[in-house]
Amino acid sequence: MEGKKASESFTIMNELVLPNDTNVFGNLMGGRLMYWMDIAAAIASGKHCNAPCMTASVDNLSFKNPIKLGNTVHIEAKVSRAFNTSMEVHLKVWGEDHLHQYRYESNEAYYTFVALDPNTNPRPVPALIPETEDEVSLYEGALRRRQLRLILAGKMKPHDANELKEFLFK
């Protein structure tokens, strides 16, 4: 299977924060944002592997700034590395205030998606080819992030996480 460039999966999604999307403080609800991020990540992973994909895990999400009612949510998603049947997707989120013309960071996260065949079994995905400096840096970090999330999910023994151990104890 031929590799695909990271840029081929690049996805931009915009949403307007309406009253029904907000919490009692008039800011976008975290759960609604995670839902939109999940969709953006599903589109990015689908562009990479051209198959239906399922969310396998979401790494820690911390919200830096609330996104206000009436502001636009800007989500960018791109596959940062592909493994055998799974892909790590990197997401960045900003709030945009068009009236006052400024943009503010909301959060950044990694979602893992698995490509599925028609019988809903995991199927192989193309390798990812990083090109820019940012893409290479995300690609290199993806192996130890994968090891950490598989350890936390009880699917890998810490003893086997060589790259993560090397990073933590160098």
Ligand X SMILES: CC(C)(COP(=O)(O)OP(=O)(O)OC[C@H]1O[C@@H](n2cnc3c(N)ncnc32)[C@H](O)[C@@H]1OP(=O)(O)O)[C@@H](O)C(=O)NCCC(=O)NCCS
Residue 93 burial class via C-beta count within 10 angstroms: exposed 0-12, middle 13-18, buried 19 and up: buried
Stretch that binds ligand X, among 29-37, 51-59, 89-97, 128-136 (CB under 6 A): 51-59
Interface residue with ligand X among 39, 57, 63, 72 (CB under 6 A) is 57
Q: Which is nearer to ligand X, 57 or 72 (CB)?
A: 57
Distance CA(131)–CA(158), nearest Å, equals 31
Residue 39 makes contact with ligand X by CB under 6 A: no
Residue 3 makes contact with ligand X by CB under 6 A: no
Number of residues that bind ligand X (CB under 6 A): 15
Q: What's the token pair of residue 162?
A: 């060589």
Give the per-residue contact string, 133-152, with ligand X (x = CB under 6 A; - = no): ----------------xx--
Considering only residues 109-138, where is the footprint of ligand X by CB under 6 A?
Answer: 112, 114, 122
Residue 83 makes contact with ligand X by CB under 6 A: yes
Pick the closest to residue 1 from 123, 114, 113 (CA basis). Answer: 123
The nearest distance, CB 86 to ligand X, in angstroms, is 3
- Phi/psi for 52 (5° steps) reads -65, 140
Pick the closest to residue 33 from 42, 44, 22 (CA basis). Answer: 22
The nearest distance, CB 58 to ligand X, in angstroms, is 9
Residue 55 makes contact with ligand X by CB under 6 A: yes
Residue 85 makes contact with ligand X by CB under 6 A: yes
Residues 6+ apart with CB under 8 A from 79: 6, 9, 44, 45, 47, 48, 87, 88, 89, 90, 128
Q: What's the token pair of residue 134?
A: 């940012």
DSSP string across 43-77: HHHHHHHSS-EEEEEE-----SSPPBTTPEEEEEE
Stretch that binds ligand X, among 9-17, 18-26, 44-52, 80-88 (CB under 6 A): 80-88
Write out the residues near ligand X by the rule CB under 6 A.
54-57, 83-86, 112, 114, 122, 149-150, 153, 155
